[in-house]
Chains A and B, each alone.
Chain A
Amino acid sequence: MAIDGPTIAEVLRQQGISRRGFLKFCATTASLMALPPSMVPAIAAALENARRPSVIWLSFQECTGCTESLTRSHSPSIEALILEQISLDYHHTLQAASGTAAEAARKAAMQENAGKYLLVVDGSIPLGNAGFSTIAGISNLDMLKETAAGAAAVIAVGTCAAYGGIPAAQPNPTGAVPVSAIIKDKPVLNVPGCPPIPVVITGVLAHFLTFGSLPELDALGRPKTFYGETIHDRCYRRPFYDQGKFAETFDDEGARKGWCLFKLGCKGPVTYNACATTKWNQGVSFPIQSGHGCIGCSEPGFWDAGPFYKALSMPIGPAKAAVGAAVVAGLAAGSAVALRNRSAKKSAQAAHQKVTVADLEKSK
């Protein structure tokens, strides 16, 4: 998958990243990917000598939030640099070329690196009507199929590409589907999140460069190392959950004391992601740390999984109205049964025939 040009080590050096900083990145990556420390030199060697892999990035029905998340950091991290430097022969938002030249760049990258390039996709693909989302007059579906055909692997970045996301939320007006619903003959790796954590992308890239393969995936196509545990498993507010100390509103005593956000609708217990450990903005914080419950954005169908601000154990259906109707129906049916019982009793009484000893004697 390598093409001519500077190696990653050269690129990093040009950017002023020291070897020490680079090795630290390799060590962090190894630990994040749950690899033994003995793998660090192998990762470093592989990364140093790897030529820029060609990456084609396609954006379909999306909000560009994933790209923003991955590229906008105030002080560019090694992750961001690796991402920017090794990638992107084609990316709508980031490339300089536009129009015909942009499409020509995509075709050229596909031809030069046939079978070797990585395809990154963000956004879902509309199946309802080809015209719902097009790029250079090409439908998302056609462009995905065409570009995936020569790719070594496909990485679906963000919940939309991984599971359909918001475009696929009910009633899914465009018939949006995830990448995995279309690409069946290539390895598809999901990096869900709205947006996903940048270091997961670079971790996956580092793994691909080091071992030439994708990391181990779970049943939902996510790298196990990053999505193996729930937010709740790793949440620093967990002791408060266990002690039964909860914030009741966003500005009460409990909220100020940093108590658990379960009652405010936190979906941490059912959300598999690494936010609580890797955190965001170079490890500064993550939503729960800033006082807002997890909304479960990396789970399939999170958008339709009930209100964000209702506790996980609260009913989300028309339970109240249904119970009201049940009371009415129960009272009506109960009265009917009562009436029937009464009339059965009355008719039994009326039909009751007394038998005397004389009668019995007679029948002998």
Chain B
Amino acid sequence: MSALELLTWARGTGLSLALVIFVFGILLRLFEIFSLGRKADLSRARDTSPGSGWRTIVRRSLPPPGLFKRSPVTYIGGYVFHIGFAITLLFFVPHIELVRGLTGLSWPGLPMQVVDIAAVAAILALFVVLASRLTNPVKRFLSGAQDYFAWLLTLLPLLTGYLAFHHVIVDYTLMLALHILSVELLLVALPFTKLFHTVSVFVSRWYNGDIFGRKGVAS
């Protein structure tokens, strides 16, 4: 199989399979989560705090007082990674073309150099947070194999994309194929690992904020 054939498979059959598992998995997980339900809370709400859920969505993204100083790596690393990743994913023109091909939606992209910087920042941030995870005893204690697996799955698309864009190590065709395949791996694993937070993060934050609001500790 030549590199071009691998690329053709990745863009064709491979992508279709990955998307099927991805969409199926997301729907399944969402049904699972929502259908679990919660026991009816029979007590009266302590506080009428409309919007506590919504405010929590925002507040959980900001460091509580004092915490930023105590663990700056976690916050800066987290921010740099997520923003860099989002820019790379959403504003690289070939990625927008992919979305347009699938959905018909499109929006203006950013110049390649900007995306390039964002990708490098995201990659570096991933290594920084990994180092912190390995050296900080609490984080290391809390980490299991799945966390490292999720880290690798996230790194691979960024790294292969960066290498493909800069034509290094192997030729562009093969690297592009590997890039698309690594994304497909990520798509397949996303619904069934902690990476599912991509979908669930705001739902769970809203729920936490709302329930705590009822219990009298509204955001």
Show the binding face of A for B, using Cβ within 8 Å.
Answer: 220, 230, 232-233, 241-244, 246, 262-263, 269-270, 272, 296, 299-302, 304-306, 310-320, 322-323, 325-327, 329-331, 333-335, 337-339, 341-342, 345
Tell me if A300 and B32 are in contact (CB < 8 A). Answer: no
Closest-by-CB residue of A relative to B31 is A334
Contact among B8, B112, B173 with A244 in the assembled complex (CB-CB below 8 Å): B112
In the complex, A316 Cα to B25 Cα: how many Å? 22
Contact with A along B4-28 (1 / 0, CB 8 A): 1101100111111101111111111
Known contacts A326-B20, A334-B27; is-contact A241 B97 (Cβ 8 Å): no
**6 A-B residue contacts at CB 8 Å?**
A241-B112, A243-B112, A305-B4, A306-B11, A319-B15, A338-B35
CA distance A270 to B5 in the complex (A): 11
Please, which residue of chain B has its CB at the minimum distance from the CB of A245? B111
Q: Contacts A242-B113, A243-B112, A322-B19: A270 and B4 contacting too (C-beta < 8 A)? A: yes
- Chain B residues close to A by CB (< 8 Å): 2-5, 7-8, 11-17, 19-28, 30-32, 34-37, 93-95, 97-98, 100-102, 109-113, 167, 171-173, 176
B176 CB, nearest partner CB in chain A, Å: 7
Partner of A313, one of B4, B23, B98: B98
Q: Which residues of the partner chain B approach A329 to less than 8 Å between Cβ atoms?
A: 20, 24
Please report the C-alpha to C-alpha distance between residue A272 and residue B2 in the assembled complex, in whole angstroms.
13
- A315 near B98 with CB under 8 A, answer yes
Does A301 lie within 8 Å of B2, measured CB to CB? yes
Q: A300-B5, A313-B97, A319-B19 are in contact. Are A230 and B172 (CB under 8 A)?
A: yes
Tell whether, in the assembled complex, residue A335 and residue B16 are in contact, meaning their CB atoms are under 8 Å apart: no
> Is there an interface contact between A337 and B101, defined as CB atoms closer than 8 Å?
no
Q: Across the interface, do A327 and B35 meet the contact criterion of CB distance under 8 Å?
A: no
A340 to B172, CA, bound (A): 48
Task: Find out whether the CB atom of A318 lies under 8 angstroms from the CB atom of B16.
Answer: yes
Chain B contacts for A306, CB-based, 8 A:
8, 11-12
Cα distance A17–B94 in the bound complex, in angstroms: 49
Asked if residues A269 and B101 are in contact (CB atoms below 8 Å), the reply is: no
A181 to chain B, nearest CB (A): 14
Kindly list chain B residues whose C-beta atoms are within 8 Å of the C-beta of A312.
Answer: 94, 176
**Interchain CB contact (< 8 A) of B13 among A299, A300, A317, A333:** A317
Q: Which residues of B contact A323 (CB under 8 A)?
A: 19-20, 23, 102
- Cβ-defined contact, B12 with A244, below 8 A: no
Q: Decide: B111 and A243 in contact? CB cutoff 8 A.
A: yes
Taking a contact as CB atoms closer than 8 A, the residue among A305, A318, A319, A338 that contacts B32 in the complex is: A338
If A241-B112, A244-B109, A330-B27 touch, whether A262 touches B93 (CB-CB below 8 Å) is yes
Closest to A339 in B: B35
B16 touches A311 (CB 8 A): no
Chain A residue contacts of B95, Cβ below 8 A: 313
Residues of B near A241 (CB, < 8 A) are 112
Residues of A within 8 A of B93 (CB): 244, 246, 262-263
Inter-chain contact B11/A316, CB cutoff 8 Å: yes
| Alpha-carbon distance between A186 and B113 when the two chains are bound, in angstroms | 47
A345 to B32, CA, bound (A): 13
Interface hub of B14, B112, B173 (most chain A Cβ within 10 A): B173
Residues from chain A with a CB closer than 8 A to the CB of B171 are 230, 272
Of B4, B31, B167, the contact of A338 (CB 8 Å cutoff):
B31
| Alpha-carbon gap, A339 to B109, bound state (A) | 44
Question: Known contacts A311-B94, A338-B35; is A319 also within 8 Å of B102 by CB?
Answer: yes
**What CA separation (Å) do A338 and B35 show in the bound complex?**
5
From known contacts A318-B16, A326-B20, infer whether A300 and B4 are also in contact, taking CB-CB under 8 Å.
Answer: yes
A339 to B112, CA, bound (A): 48
Contact of B17 among A242, A316, A322, A327 (CB under 8 A): A322
Residues of A within 8 A of B30 (CB): 334
| Given contact pairs A230-B172, A243-B112, A322-B17, A330 touches B11 in the complex (Cβ within 8 A) | no
- Chain B residues near A330 (CB-CB < 8 A): 23-28, 31
Q: Which residues of the partner chain B approach A304 to less than 8 Å between Cβ atoms?
A: 8
In the complex, what distance in Å separates the CA atom of A323 from the CA atom of B26? 12
A-B pairs with the 8 shortest C-beta distances? A334-B31, A330-B27, A338-B35, A317-B12, A314-B101, A313-B94, A326-B23, A322-B16
CB distance from B19 to the nearest CB of A (A): 5
How far apart are the CA atoms of A312 and B97 in the complex, in Å?
9
**Which chain A residue lies CB-closest to B21?**
A326
Closest to B27 in A: A330
Docked CA distance A335–B28 (Å) = 8
In whole angstroms, how far apart are the Cα atoms of A315 and B17 in the complex? Answer: 12
* Distance to closest chain B CB from A150 (angstroms): 31
Whole-angstrom CA separation of A317 from B180 in the bound complex: 14
- Which residue of chain A is the closest to B101 with respect to CB atoms? A314
Least distance between B191 CB and chain A CB atoms (Å): 10
B26 / chain A contacts, CB cutoff of 8 Å:
330
Option from A243, A270, A342 in Cβ contact (under 8 Å) with B35:
A342
